[in-house]
């Protein structure tokens, strides 16, 4: 399973509420700071390295 799929499963509920599809994220995609933080935390846990800000 790829890391993006694992991240998607952890933040799926929140991303659906905001209408953000992780597969379609681009540099100009907007989301709440809370969702961005959840994505960063999930990515850090899955990859085992800190996620850049």
Q: What is the pLDDT of residues 6-48, one digit of tens each?
A: 999 999 999 999 999 988 888 899 999 999 999 999 999 999 9
Q: Which domain holds residue 37?
A: 3-47
pLDDT at residue 23, as a whole number: 85
**Residue 1 pLDDT level (bands cut at 50, 70, 90):** confident
> Is residue 13 domain-resident?
yes
Contacts of 50 (CB under 8 A, 6+ apart): 44
pLDDT at residue 25, as a whole number: 85
Domains: count for the chain: 1
47 and 3 Cβ atoms separated by less than 8 Å? yes
22 and 4 Cβ atoms separated by less than 8 Å? yes
> Is residue 24 domain-resident?
yes
42 and 11 Cβ atoms separated by less than 8 Å? yes
> Is residue 41 domain-resident?
yes
């Amino acid at each position: 399973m790829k890391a993006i799929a694992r991240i998607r499963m952890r933040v799926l509920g929140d991303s659906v509420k905001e209408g953000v599809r992780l597969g379609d994220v681009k540099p100009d995609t907007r989301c709440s700071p809370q969702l961005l933080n959840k994505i960063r935390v999930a990515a850090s846990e899955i990859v085992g390295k800190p996620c850049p800000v």
